[in-house]
Amino acid sequence: MPNDDGYVSRVLTYLDELTLRAATTARARNGVHHGDISYVTLGLPDLACGQAFYGAVLGWRFSPGNSEHGVQVDDVVPMMGLWAGAGPTGAQVRGAVLGYRVADIAAAVAAVRAHGGTMTDPHPEPYGLAAEGHDDQGTPFCLHELPAVAGGPTSMSEDFHNGEVQGDVSYLTMVVSDLEAAQAFYAGVLGWTVNVGRLGGAQVSGVAPQLGMTTKPEAGPATPRVTLCYRVDDIRAAVQRVRDAGGAAREVAKRPYGLESLCADDQGTPFYLHQP
């Protein structure tokens, strides 16, 4: 073996990449517990532009979806797809639509309807059972009853995936019109416990990835929607990549949890970048 610092460095880098790849493939990407995020659909006007933008900014790689209107994002947690077409209701999908893992989808569908939301009957998909609808404030979402995670964690502390690697979703902000109504709806449907913080905001406990609710969003109008936050390793370099790719990004700000920048992609979809 050559006794060369450059060679050793390359070998160590390769081993680190193998370790990261193994850890990534072993991660639960569809949630573990009832109420976890099981899937994120990011609706965009132009699919090819979305692939180019997020590939350049976050390093996302893509696999074909089951339709020409969508692609799957490889490896990230939670599992994600880009979509440039109509949703189950016939309307164009715009922005992030969340799917939630549930233990009993028939009971969850009944709970949605009992709490003022709308939901289709459960139907089989290759991955499990699914249903689609809206909450009582008009936010679209999906329910998924999925096979148990083999060898899954036994406690909440073991499975919190809040942006372990670049490109993962590290936080989600749910914009709601009525905070108390949202608390009641999601407590009744998913069993969420919500801790109200500063005026107009609340934190959901025990959900992976972490999620908050607000009536006063920093980005865009106060209409029901979800804004995603992505983990990056070097936020200043990522901000520059956003701008180079045709998006917009505010200057980096220091927060108690790390560094953050509010951005928008080249199609106007707002999102955050986060460096722990």
Tens-place pLDDT, residues 88-126:
666 778 899 999 999 999 999 999 999 999 999 999 999
Class of domain 162-275 as given by CATH: alpha beta
Residue 21 has pLDDT above 60, yes or no: no
Hey, what are 113's tokens? 């309807």
Q: Tell me how far apart the alpha carbons of residues 111 and 212 are, in angstroms, rounded to a whole number.
A: 21
Q: Which of 2.70.170.10, 2.60.120.40, 3.90.550.10, 3.10.180.10 would CATH assign to domain 37-145?
A: 3.10.180.10
Look at residue 105 in the predicted model and tell me its pLDDT.
98
Look at residue 197 in the predicted model and tell me its pLDDT.
75
Look at residue 19 in the predicted model and tell me its pLDDT.
39
Strand partners, 148: none
Tell me which DSSP letter residue 272 carries: E
pLDDT digits (tens, 9 = 90+) for 31-73: 999 999 999 999 999 999 999 999 999 999 999 988 899 999 9
Residue 156 has pLDDT above 90, yes or no: no
H helix or E strand, kind and range, residue 124: strand 123-125
Which amino acid, one-letter code, is at 29? R
Q: Where in the chain are the domains?
A: 37-145, 162-275
Asked whether the domain spanning 162-275 has the same topology as the one spanning 37-145, the reply is yes
Distance set, CA 204 to CA 25, 114, 210 (Å): 27, 21, 7
